[in-house]
Amino acid sequence: MSTLKPPLGPRDHLRGELSRPIHLVEFGDFECPLCGQAQIVVQALARALGDQLCFGFRNFPVVGAHPNAQIAAEAAEAAGDQGKYWEMHDLLFDDQHALEVPHLGRYAEQLGLDMHRFVADLQAHRFLEKIRGDLHSGAISGVVGTPTFFINGIRHEGPFDFDSLLAAMTLAARFPRAG
Amino acid sequence: MLQPGARAPEFALKTTPDQTLAPVDFRGKPVVLAFYQADWSPVCTEQMAVYSLIIDELRAHGAQLLGIACDGAWCHLAFARHYELSFPRLSDFEPKGGVSRRYGCYDAAEGMSGRALFVVDCDGQIAWSYLSPTGINPGADGILAALDGLGKLSSRPRPQEGDRP
């Protein structure tokens, strides 16, 4: 059984508090089409589960197949450093086909980020280490490609459509969290 | 399937149409053998792509990863080029599945290798093995945990001849 290492914690980007009973963690890549589909499913699950769900996202950029995945992840982290992680996360998934540097700059402007700081962070690859940390977490947790989901710390096997994930989460909520 | 403690059988297989590789070429390093069903099949492709992406995690343990499947060397070459795989693939092609059979992970009904993983220690002994169900990508967590375990073992004093077990 593959388990999430390290467990979801305050260093993660979270939608919802850690005290909520259901933890859903996605390892994803902003340029991955399946993650784009999963984003819609996750949003629907968040609406359905309300304050039961704490959702966390870790980066797993598949750099060979997706040339812009890493810089897009860096852009999301840079926005996060300015308090706009989820806003950028959603914009990137909404327009997965436009993830080159000029597009990223446009999204940052749209969110009203400090552009000087945003550009400097991207040029210095300031958040690359954090992304590598996510990749390491994915490797030791048994990520099998993108997206890979963990429900209450245990790798979700099987499809990631709304019903499958909801059923798995409903079941998981009956047991103590593994991590 | 061969279990921890067994000696890893020696073999040499083609990695390209004109080169062969053998685990003994890497003696002194841990070797990870990843048997898989077939080039291009969806689960195998994802599994190999993930290993390729996280190859530095294996290198950090000093380990060498070798993928093994029954496809011919030309097929392996095209597969690896297409997905830019960062580790060698060995061709268990002639006699078909010969090495997979010796490791006890040949799926005769399908005519393909099973999805088996082996971590072979620096001395050529199997330290960990795992057979994943056909449709399930096992990821790399088991491999990395086994390699972690090797590090801990090798830092202990080796038993000397004459020591009580």
Question: In CATH, what number is assigned to the domain containing residue A136?
Answer: 3.40.30.10
Among the partner-chain residues B50, B142, B145, the one whose CB lies closest to the CB of A143 is B50
**CB of B153 within 8 Å of any CB in chain A?**
no
How sure is the predictor about A103, in pLDDT bands with cuts at 50, 70 and 90? Answer: very high
B91 pLDDT higher than 70: yes
Which two three-digit tokens encode residue B27?
A: 């003696």
Q: Which DSSP state fits A7?
A: P
Residue pair B131/B100 in contact (Cβ under 8 Å)? The answer is: no
Q: Confirm whether A125 is domain-assigned.
A: yes
B165 pLDDT higher than 50: no
Across the range B17-22, mean pLDDT stands at 96
**pLDDT attached to residue B90:** 98
Q: Confirm whether A150 is domain-assigned.
A: yes
B141 contacts in chain A (CB < 8 Å): 2, 5, 139-142
Q: Is A62–B53 a contact, with Cβ atoms under 8 angstroms apart?
A: yes
Residue pair B57/A139 in contact (Cβ under 8 Å)? The answer is: yes
Read off the pLDDT of residues A106-124 as tens digits, 9 standing for 90 and up: 999 999 999 999 999 999 9
A163 pLDDT higher than 60: yes
Tell me which CATH code domain B24-154 carries. Answer: 3.40.30.10
The count of domains in chain A is 1
Among the partner-chain residues A62, A135, A142, the one whose CB lies closest to the CB of B141 is A142
> Structural domain of residue A112, as residue ranges?
13-167
Q: Confirm whether A119 is domain-assigned.
A: yes
Across the range A117-140, mean pLDDT stands at 97
B32: amino acid identity, one letter: V
Read off the pLDDT of residues B124-133 as tens digits, 9 standing for 90 and up: 999 999 999 9
Scan for tokens 């086909």, then name that residue. Answer: A97
Residue pair A33/A66 in contact (Cβ under 8 Å)? The answer is: no
What ipTM describes this predicted complex?
0.88
B162 pLDDT higher than 50: no
What ranges make up the beta strands (E) of A60-166? 148-151, 154-155
> CA B30 to CA B28: how far, in whole Å?
7
